[in-house]
Structure 1
Amino acid sequence: MILGYARVCTPEEDIKPQRKSLIEAGCREIFEDQGSANCVSLPGFSRLQASLKRGDTLVVWKLDRFGCSVKKLEALLTDLRKRGVHLRSLRDGIDTRTGKGRSFCEFVIDLANMERELALERTLAGREVAKKTGRTGGRRRQMTDSKILHARKLLASGMPPSEAANSLGVSLSTLYRWIPAPSKTIQSRSSH
């Protein structure tokens, strides 16, 4: 069976040209989503996926109506291939029933895999550089060694902690994290 899928990103877009092209392509049933720019809530696409069976052909007007990113497109193409469903994109001239169409899909899948591997390599390389330079993750320390020394001098001179923190440009909790507040010792009295 030939099934069609049409999607517009904004309510202002007209879905009729897609619908017309899908009907002309021989689609028996057309599933639609309107106003779904974020590709999150796609009830029409969910119904389409539930309807697809081995040997069916899914026809889309254009690939960007089908997958919102290379990663999503790769996942959808992989899923269709596993399920034995063919894909035809009218505007892009892609048909997975042909060698050229299958090669294109393999290329998209390989591209998405390469993108993931490059991201992983960059992450690992960044960790190695951080490790070699002694950097740890997270934000830069607000209280440098010189600020800690200066804070101790201010507090020793009798300046209230809130004023010392303010003059150093840090919060009171940050000041206390690096220079704990003096603990008050409670002297126990023994009764005679």
Structure 2
Amino acid sequence: MLIGYARVSTDDQNLDLQRDALRRAGCERMLEDKASGAKADRTGLAALMSMLRAGDTVVIWRLDRLGRSLKNLIELVERFEAAKVGLRSLQENIDTTTSGGRLVFHLFGALAEFERNLIRERTQAGMAAARVRGRMGGRPKRLDPAKLALALRLHHEAKHTIKEICQMMGISSKSTLYNYLARADRHVLGAA
């Protein structure tokens, strides 16, 4: 069965162009959303996903009407493939029920993965450059060396509960304090 899906971003926009194109393409059923593509909870898309059966083909006017990003679009198509459902985009002339259409879509996927890898590499290079300059990533440490030594001493004296030591040190979680104490103990044992 050919099932159409149409979406516009705002109530001001009109679905007529997409509806007409989907009818001409032979869609037997149509689902619609008037919501931003950035929204993950689109009721029309959710209804579409729940009604799909093996052998169905989802027909869209343009790729950007279905996914909110290339990554999201690829995830949706992978879900379609797992359910043995095809995707046909009228404007881009892509049909994943054909060998050529699958090839084009997999090329899109490869380009998206390449882009993610480039972003990851740039991020890691930036973090390495920052470390060379003495800047470390992550949350700043709550306890400086003096406070850590005090917390360790209070813990070893066993005159205060862990909760009391947390309050004195301004730490909200017992597990955070235990992590600090374990690292401090390892450091002291390693130095001895």
* TM-score normalised to structure 1 length: 0.67
* Residue number in structure 2 paired with 1:31: 31
* Residue number in structure 1 paired with 2:133: 133
Pairs within 5 Å for 1:92-171: 92-137=92-137
Quote the Cα distance in structure 2 between the aligned partners of 1:55 and 1:35: 28
* Residue number in structure 2 paired with 1:65: 65
Quote the Cα distance in structure 1 between the aligned partners of 2:81 and 2:37: 25
Quote the Cα distance in structure 2 between the aligned partners of 1:35 and 1:70: 18
Quote the Cα distance in structure 2 between the aligned partners of 1:77 and 1:12: 29
* TM-score normalised to structure 2 length: 0.67
Deviation digits for residues 4-48 of structure 1 (CA, Å, limit 9, x no counterpart): 100011111110121111112111110100133533331000000
Question: How many angstroms does 1:97 deviate by?
Answer: 1.9
Deviation digits for residues 139-169 of structure 1 (CA, Å, limit 9, x no counterpart): 9xxxxxxxxxxxxxxxxxxxxxxxxxxxxxx
Quote the Cα distance in structure 2 between the aligned partners of 1:33 and 1:121: 37
The answer on whether the counterparts of 1:7 and 1:65 sit within 8 Å (CA) in structure 2 is yes
The answer on whether the counterparts of 1:78 and 1:109 sit within 8 Å (CA) in structure 2 is no
* Residue number in structure 2 paired with 1:10: 10
Unmatched runs of 5 consecutive residues or more in structure 2: 140-192
The answer on whether the counterparts of 2:3 and 2:27 sit within 8 Å (CA) in structure 1 is yes
Question: How many angstroms does 1:90 deviate by?
Answer: 0.8
* RMSD (Å) for aligned C-alpha atoms: 1.9
Deviation digits for residues 49-77 of structure 1 (CA, Å, limit 9, x no counterpart): 00111111010011110112111112112
Question: How many angstroms does 1:138 deviate by?
Answer: 6.8
Q: Which structure has the larger Rg?
A: 1
* Residue number in structure 2 paired with 1:52: 52
Question: How many angstroms does 1:100 deviate by?
Answer: 2.0
Quote the Cα distance in structure 1 between the aligned partners of 2:104 and 2:37: 25
* Residue number in structure 1 paired with 2:85: 85
> Which consecutive segments of 4 or more residues in structure 1 shift more than 4 A?
none
Give SS of 1:135's match: coil
The answer on whether the counterparts of 1:10 and 1:37 sit within 8 Å (CA) in structure 2 is no
Letter aligned with residue 127 of structure 2 = R
Greater helix percent: which structure? Answer: 2
Letter aligned with residue 114 of structure 1 = F
Quote the Cα distance in structure 1 between the aligned partners of 2:37 and 2:98: 30
Question: How many angstroms does 1:95 deviate by?
Answer: 0.8
Unmatched runs of 5 consecutive residues or more in structure 1: 140-192
Letter aligned with residue 5 of structure 1 = Y
User: Across the two proteins, how many residue pairs are aligned to each other?
Assistant: 140
Give SS of 1:68's match: coil
